[in-house]
């Protein structure tokens, strides 16, 4: 696990969470229980703060950072896809941020939202709960349906399970 103190700011990692040794968790970052922090992830709480809710997955090479003295709140069972960049203020419970998406400063993503791959959510933009957005800049294209929720409940559980398996099964062989 690669945890770094920055001045007086120290990361905290909850029980059952997995943080890859190639991830960088810096400063004031709170990772609650049963989270998966993938390989190459950067969580920079050097001059802002980050709070990650239980059961959340931040997939490989994603970056989360916040403005000076700001707080990025990432809710429960959120999925942040591979290579996403997050500077947003709030990503509410069960939201999905697609691979390569960009969540700009002070943006807010509502509960059960799905942000499409490569989408850019602009500075200060607020996406209401249960909406699907795509494009540059992000535009609402519809409502999240029950079938989407069922799929993502399954997908989110895969990462909770991975967080439990990695410490037991991952072995460097060379």
pLDDT of residue 172: 85
Lowest mean pLDDT among 36-40, 63-67, 153-157: 153-157
As a three-state string, the secondary structure of 102-148 is: EECCCCEECCCCEECCCCEECCCCEECCCEEEECCCCEEEEECCHHH
Quick check: bond before 85 cis, omega within 30? no
Report residue 9 CA to chain centroid gap: 20
What confidence tens digit (pLDDT) does each residue in 98-120 have?
Answer: 999 999 999 999 999 999 999 99
Q: Where residue 137 falls among pLDDT bands split at 50, 70, 90?
A: very high
Instruction: Work out the average pLDDT over 7-32.
Output: 97
Cβ burial of 106 (10 Å; 0-12, 13-18, 19+) is middle
Nearest CA-CA partner of 91 in 123, 132, 45, 126: 126
pLDDT of residue 2: 85
Whether residue 19 is predicted with pLDDT greater than 90 in this model: the reply is yes
In which region does residue 130 sit, left (phi positive, over 0), alpha (psi from -120 to 50) or beta (all else)? left
Q: Which domains does the chain have, with CATH numbers?
A: 3-168 (2.160.10.10)
Nearest CA-CA partner of 128 in 138, 117, 118: 138
Q: Where residue 31 falls among pLDDT bands split at 50, 70, 90?
A: very high
pTM: 0.94
Instruction: Work out the average pLDDT over 90-105.
Output: 98
Whether residue 1 is predicted with pLDDT greater than 80 in this model: the reply is no
Instruction: Work out the average pLDDT over 52-77.
Output: 96
The contacts of residue 107 (CB under 8 Å, 6+ apart) are: 87, 88, 89, 121, 122, 123, 124, 125, 126, 127
Average pLDDT of every residue of the chain:
96
């Amino acid at each position: 696990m690669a945890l770094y103190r920055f001045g007086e700011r120290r990361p905290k990692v909850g029980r059952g969470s997995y943080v890859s040794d190639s991830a960088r968790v810096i400063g004031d970052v709170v990772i609650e229980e049963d989270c998966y922090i993938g390989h190459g992830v950067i969580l920079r709480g050097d001059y802002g703060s980050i709070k990650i809710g239980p059961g959340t997955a931040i997939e490989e090479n994603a970056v989360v950072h916040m403005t000076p003295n700001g707080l990025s709140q990432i809710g429960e069972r959120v999925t942040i896809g591979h290579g996403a960049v997050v500077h947003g203020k709030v990503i509410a419970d069960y939201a999905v941020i697609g691979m390569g998406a960009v969540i700009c400063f002070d943006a807010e993503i509502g509960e059960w939202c799905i942000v499409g791959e490569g989408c850019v959510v602009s500075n200060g933009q607020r996406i209401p709960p249960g909406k699907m957005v795509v494009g540059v800049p992000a535009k609402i294209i519809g409502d999240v349906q029950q079938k989407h929720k069922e799929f993502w409940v399954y997908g989110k559980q895969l990462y909770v399970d991975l967080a439990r398996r990695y410490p037991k099964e991952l072995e460097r062989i060379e």
